[in-house]
Amino acid sequence: MIRRCASYAVLVAGLIPLLLPFYWMALTSLKPKREVFTAVPQWWPAHPAWDNYRSAWVAEPFAGFFFNSIVVTASIVALQLALASLAAFALSRFEFRGRSLIFWIIVAALIVPVQITFIANFMTLAHLGLLNTYAALVAPYAASAFGTFLLRQAFAAVPRQLEDAARLDGCSGLAFLWHVLLPLSRPTVLAFALVAVVTHWNDYFWPLIVTNNNAVRTLPIGLGMFVGQEVTTDWNLLMAASIFVSAPMLLLFFLMQRHFVQSQLRTGSRG
Protein backbone atom coordinates (compact mmCIF):
# COMPACT_ATOMS: atom_id res chain seq x y z
CA MET A 1 0.00 0.00 0.00
CA ILE A 2 2.79 2.41 0.97
CA ARG A 3 4.78 1.34 -2.09
CA ARG A 4 1.78 1.91 -4.29
CA CYS A 5 1.29 5.44 -2.94
CA ALA A 6 4.99 6.18 -3.34
CA SER A 7 4.86 4.96 -6.94
CA TYR A 8 1.95 7.23 -7.70
CA ALA A 9 3.67 10.15 -6.01
CA VAL A 10 6.78 9.75 -8.16
CA LEU A 11 4.79 9.23 -11.36
CA VAL A 12 2.63 12.29 -10.72
CA ALA A 13 5.64 14.42 -9.74
CA GLY A 14 7.28 13.38 -13.01
CA LEU A 15 4.30 14.71 -14.93
CA ILE A 16 5.13 18.28 -13.90
CA PRO A 17 8.31 18.70 -15.99
CA LEU A 18 6.71 16.51 -18.63
CA LEU A 19 3.44 18.36 -19.08
CA LEU A 20 4.28 21.92 -18.03
CA PRO A 21 5.97 22.63 -21.39
CA PHE A 22 2.86 21.48 -23.27
CA TYR A 23 0.67 23.68 -21.11
CA TRP A 24 3.01 26.63 -21.51
CA MET A 25 3.03 26.19 -25.28
CA ALA A 26 -0.78 26.08 -25.49
CA LEU A 27 -1.16 28.95 -23.03
CA THR A 28 1.33 31.21 -24.80
CA SER A 29 -0.31 30.49 -28.14
CA LEU A 30 -3.55 31.99 -26.82
CA LYS A 31 -2.13 35.10 -25.20
CA PRO A 32 -2.47 38.51 -26.77
CA LYS A 33 0.91 40.12 -27.27
CA ARG A 34 0.71 42.34 -24.19
CA GLU A 35 0.12 39.31 -21.94
CA VAL A 36 3.16 37.38 -23.20
CA PHE A 37 5.75 39.36 -21.25
CA THR A 38 4.45 40.09 -17.76
CA ALA A 39 6.42 40.45 -14.55
CA VAL A 40 4.26 37.74 -12.98
CA PRO A 41 3.36 35.02 -15.50
CA GLN A 42 -0.35 34.69 -16.20
CA TRP A 43 -1.37 31.06 -15.82
CA TRP A 44 -4.64 31.46 -17.65
CA PRO A 45 -5.29 33.58 -20.74
CA ALA A 46 -7.45 36.49 -19.58
CA HIS A 47 -8.49 37.27 -23.16
CA PRO A 48 -7.80 34.18 -25.31
CA ALA A 49 -6.56 35.43 -28.67
CA TRP A 50 -7.69 32.69 -31.05
CA ASP A 51 -6.73 35.03 -33.82
CA ASN A 52 -3.05 34.18 -33.14
CA TYR A 53 -3.56 30.95 -35.04
CA ARG A 54 -4.75 32.74 -38.14
CA SER A 55 -1.94 35.30 -37.93
CA ALA A 56 0.64 32.53 -37.57
CA TRP A 57 -0.89 30.50 -40.40
CA VAL A 58 -0.47 33.34 -42.88
CA ALA A 59 2.88 34.61 -41.56
CA GLU A 60 4.55 31.96 -43.74
CA PRO A 61 3.00 29.98 -46.63
CA PHE A 62 2.06 27.25 -44.16
CA ALA A 63 -0.79 25.90 -46.30
CA GLY A 64 1.73 25.02 -49.00
CA PHE A 65 4.16 23.53 -46.47
CA PHE A 66 1.32 21.44 -45.07
CA PHE A 67 0.52 20.11 -48.52
CA ASN A 68 4.19 19.32 -49.19
CA SER A 69 4.52 17.50 -45.87
CA ILE A 70 1.50 15.36 -46.67
CA VAL A 71 2.78 14.47 -50.16
CA VAL A 72 6.31 13.69 -48.96
CA THR A 73 5.31 11.73 -45.86
CA ALA A 74 2.66 9.72 -47.72
CA SER A 75 5.08 8.91 -50.56
CA ILE A 76 7.85 7.81 -48.22
CA VAL A 77 5.59 5.62 -46.10
CA ALA A 78 3.91 4.01 -49.13
CA LEU A 79 7.26 3.23 -50.76
CA GLN A 80 8.76 1.92 -47.52
CA LEU A 81 5.80 -0.40 -46.97
CA ALA A 82 5.95 -1.72 -50.54
CA LEU A 83 9.72 -2.22 -50.67
CA ALA A 84 10.00 -3.58 -47.14
CA SER A 85 7.14 -6.06 -47.75
CA LEU A 86 8.84 -7.44 -50.85
CA ALA A 87 12.27 -7.65 -49.25
CA ALA A 88 10.90 -9.17 -46.05
CA PHE A 89 8.93 -11.69 -48.11
CA ALA A 90 12.13 -12.81 -49.86
CA LEU A 91 14.11 -12.96 -46.63
CA SER A 92 11.50 -14.86 -44.64
CA ARG A 93 9.95 -17.35 -47.08
CA PHE A 94 12.65 -18.26 -49.61
CA GLU A 95 15.86 -20.27 -49.46
CA PHE A 96 18.54 -18.78 -51.67
CA ARG A 97 22.26 -18.19 -51.85
CA GLY A 98 23.51 -15.16 -49.94
CA ARG A 99 20.34 -14.79 -47.88
CA SER A 100 22.00 -14.09 -44.56
CA LEU A 101 24.63 -11.87 -46.17
CA ILE A 102 21.90 -9.78 -47.78
CA PHE A 103 20.02 -9.65 -44.49
CA TRP A 104 23.10 -8.24 -42.74
CA ILE A 105 23.77 -5.75 -45.53
CA ILE A 106 20.25 -4.42 -45.01
CA VAL A 107 20.42 -4.32 -41.21
CA ALA A 108 23.88 -2.70 -41.22
CA ALA A 109 22.37 0.30 -43.01
CA LEU A 110 20.88 1.25 -39.63
CA ILE A 111 24.29 2.46 -38.45
CA VAL A 112 24.76 4.76 -41.46
CA PRO A 113 22.21 7.54 -40.95
CA VAL A 114 21.70 10.38 -43.41
CA GLN A 115 23.45 12.66 -40.89
CA ILE A 116 26.66 10.94 -42.01
CA THR A 117 26.04 10.58 -45.74
CA PHE A 118 24.34 13.93 -46.40
CA ILE A 119 27.26 15.66 -48.14
CA ALA A 120 27.59 12.84 -50.68
CA ASN A 121 23.82 12.52 -51.17
CA PHE A 122 23.49 16.27 -51.58
CA MET A 123 26.15 16.27 -54.31
CA THR A 124 24.58 13.30 -56.11
CA LEU A 125 21.17 14.95 -56.16
CA ALA A 126 22.66 18.29 -57.19
CA HIS A 127 24.47 16.51 -60.01
CA LEU A 128 21.18 14.97 -61.16
CA GLY A 129 19.49 18.38 -60.97
CA LEU A 130 17.04 17.09 -58.38
CA LEU A 131 17.49 19.65 -55.58
CA ASN A 132 14.19 21.30 -54.61
CA THR A 133 12.06 18.40 -55.84
CA TYR A 134 9.79 15.94 -54.08
CA ALA A 135 12.01 13.20 -55.52
CA ALA A 136 15.01 14.49 -53.55
CA LEU A 137 12.95 14.54 -50.35
CA VAL A 138 11.61 11.02 -50.85
CA ALA A 139 14.25 8.96 -52.66
CA PRO A 140 16.83 8.41 -49.86
CA TYR A 141 14.04 7.11 -47.62
CA ALA A 142 12.29 4.89 -50.18
CA ALA A 143 13.70 1.78 -48.51
CA SER A 144 13.69 1.16 -44.77
CA ALA A 145 16.18 -1.19 -43.13
CA PHE A 146 14.17 -1.00 -39.91
CA GLY A 147 10.88 -1.79 -41.66
CA THR A 148 12.42 -4.69 -43.58
CA PHE A 149 13.74 -6.13 -40.34
CA LEU A 150 10.39 -5.76 -38.53
CA LEU A 151 8.34 -7.28 -41.35
CA ARG A 152 10.79 -10.13 -41.80
CA GLN A 153 10.30 -11.08 -38.15
CA ALA A 154 6.52 -10.91 -38.52
CA PHE A 155 6.44 -12.91 -41.78
CA ALA A 156 8.79 -15.55 -40.39
CA ALA A 157 6.31 -16.18 -37.58
CA VAL A 158 3.62 -17.34 -40.04
CA PRO A 159 3.64 -21.16 -39.99
CA ARG A 160 4.87 -23.16 -42.95
CA GLN A 161 1.68 -25.25 -43.08
CA LEU A 162 -0.33 -22.15 -43.87
CA GLU A 163 1.87 -21.50 -46.89
CA ASP A 164 1.40 -25.08 -48.10
CA ALA A 165 -2.35 -24.88 -47.64
CA ALA A 166 -2.50 -21.56 -49.47
CA ARG A 167 -0.46 -23.01 -52.34
CA LEU A 168 -2.91 -25.91 -52.67
CA ASP A 169 -5.64 -23.31 -53.02
CA GLY A 170 -3.67 -21.68 -55.83
CA CYS A 171 -2.43 -18.79 -53.71
CA SER A 172 1.34 -18.45 -54.03
CA GLY A 173 4.02 -15.86 -54.70
CA LEU A 174 2.88 -12.27 -54.46
CA ALA A 175 -0.73 -13.38 -53.94
CA PHE A 176 0.38 -15.18 -50.79
CA LEU A 177 2.20 -12.03 -49.61
CA TRP A 178 -0.84 -9.87 -50.29
CA HIS A 179 -3.66 -12.16 -49.14
CA VAL A 180 -2.01 -14.04 -46.27
CA LEU A 181 1.27 -12.59 -44.95
CA LEU A 182 0.33 -8.92 -44.85
CA PRO A 183 -3.14 -9.39 -43.30
CA LEU A 184 -1.71 -11.76 -40.68
CA SER A 185 1.02 -9.23 -39.86
CA ARG A 186 -1.36 -6.31 -39.60
CA PRO A 187 -0.28 -5.15 -36.12
CA THR A 188 3.38 -4.99 -37.17
CA VAL A 189 2.58 -3.31 -40.48
CA LEU A 190 0.42 -0.72 -38.74
CA ALA A 191 2.95 -0.08 -35.98
CA PHE A 192 5.77 0.37 -38.47
CA ALA A 193 3.66 2.67 -40.66
CA LEU A 194 2.81 4.87 -37.66
CA VAL A 195 6.43 5.20 -36.60
CA ALA A 196 7.41 6.01 -40.20
CA VAL A 197 4.70 8.67 -40.50
CA VAL A 198 5.88 10.40 -37.33
CA THR A 199 9.57 10.16 -38.26
CA HIS A 200 9.15 11.66 -41.70
CA TRP A 201 6.50 14.24 -40.83
CA ASN A 202 8.89 15.56 -38.16
CA ASP A 203 12.09 15.27 -40.19
CA TYR A 204 13.98 18.53 -40.25
CA PHE A 205 17.52 17.59 -41.27
CA TRP A 206 17.18 16.13 -44.76
CA PRO A 207 14.62 18.66 -46.10
CA LEU A 208 16.92 21.40 -44.82
CA ILE A 209 19.75 20.00 -46.96
CA VAL A 210 17.86 19.62 -50.24
CA THR A 211 15.35 22.48 -50.27
CA ASN A 212 15.72 26.24 -50.42
CA ASN A 213 12.48 27.04 -52.16
CA ASN A 214 9.03 27.50 -50.59
CA ALA A 215 7.41 25.48 -53.38
CA VAL A 216 8.79 22.21 -51.94
CA ARG A 217 9.58 23.07 -48.31
CA THR A 218 7.89 20.96 -45.65
CA LEU A 219 6.32 22.05 -42.35
CA PRO A 220 9.37 21.58 -40.10
CA ILE A 221 11.42 23.76 -42.45
CA GLY A 222 8.68 26.40 -42.51
CA LEU A 223 8.48 26.36 -38.73
CA GLY A 224 12.27 26.48 -38.51
CA MET A 225 12.31 29.65 -40.65
CA PHE A 226 9.64 31.09 -38.40
CA VAL A 227 11.85 30.32 -35.37
CA GLY A 228 14.66 32.28 -37.01
CA GLN A 229 12.46 35.32 -37.54
CA GLU A 230 10.19 35.41 -34.54
CA VAL A 231 12.62 34.72 -31.74
CA THR A 232 12.53 37.41 -29.03
CA THR A 233 9.37 38.93 -30.42
CA ASP A 234 6.11 37.12 -31.15
CA TRP A 235 6.31 34.05 -28.96
CA ASN A 236 2.53 33.69 -29.03
CA LEU A 237 2.51 33.31 -32.82
CA LEU A 238 5.50 30.97 -32.76
CA MET A 239 3.77 28.75 -30.19
CA ALA A 240 0.56 28.75 -32.25
CA ALA A 241 2.56 27.65 -35.31
CA SER A 242 4.37 24.99 -33.27
CA ILE A 243 1.00 23.63 -32.21
CA PHE A 244 -0.46 23.35 -35.68
CA VAL A 245 2.71 21.72 -36.97
CA SER A 246 2.67 19.17 -34.12
CA ALA A 247 -1.11 18.68 -33.94
CA PRO A 248 -1.46 16.02 -36.66
CA MET A 249 1.12 13.80 -34.93
CA LEU A 250 -0.32 14.37 -31.45
CA LEU A 251 -3.78 13.54 -32.77
CA LEU A 252 -2.53 10.43 -34.54
CA PHE A 253 -0.68 9.39 -31.40
CA PHE A 254 -3.62 9.81 -29.05
CA LEU A 255 -5.99 8.01 -31.43
CA MET A 256 -3.59 5.12 -32.09
CA GLN A 257 -1.52 5.07 -28.90
CA ARG A 258 -2.02 1.36 -28.37
CA HIS A 259 -0.36 0.60 -31.71
CA PHE A 260 2.52 3.02 -31.10
CA VAL A 261 3.37 1.47 -27.78
CA GLN A 262 2.95 -1.99 -29.28
CA SER A 263 5.44 -1.20 -32.02
CA GLN A 264 8.10 -0.33 -29.47
CA LEU A 265 7.24 -3.40 -27.40
CA ARG A 266 7.70 -5.46 -30.55
CA THR A 267 11.16 -4.12 -31.41
CA GLY A 268 12.43 -3.82 -27.87
CA SER A 269 11.62 -7.33 -26.80
CA ARG A 270 13.74 -8.68 -29.63
CA GLY A 271 16.77 -6.73 -28.55
Interface with other proteins in residues 176-195 (CB under 8 A): none
CB of 52 to other proteins, least distance (A): 14
Instruction: Determine the size of the site formed for other proteins (CB under 8 A).
Output: 98
Interface with other proteins in residues 106-165 (CB under 8 A): 106, 109-124, 126-127, 139-140, 142-143, 145, 148
Interface with other proteins in residues 205-234 (CB under 8 A): 205, 208-209, 219-220, 223-224, 226-227, 231-232
Interface with other proteins in residues 51-70 (CB under 8 A): none
Q: What angle do CA 81, 210, 59 make, to 5 degrees?
A: 100
CB of 38 to other proteins, least distance (A): 8
Does residue number 105 form part of the binding site for other proteins (CB under 8 A)? Answer: yes
CB of 226 to other proteins, least distance (A): 8
Using CB under 8 A, which of the segments 52-60, 157-165, 184-192, 261-269 binds other proteins?
A: 261-269
Cβ-based nearer residue to other proteins, 58 or 126 = 126
CB of 165 to other proteins, least distance (A): 19
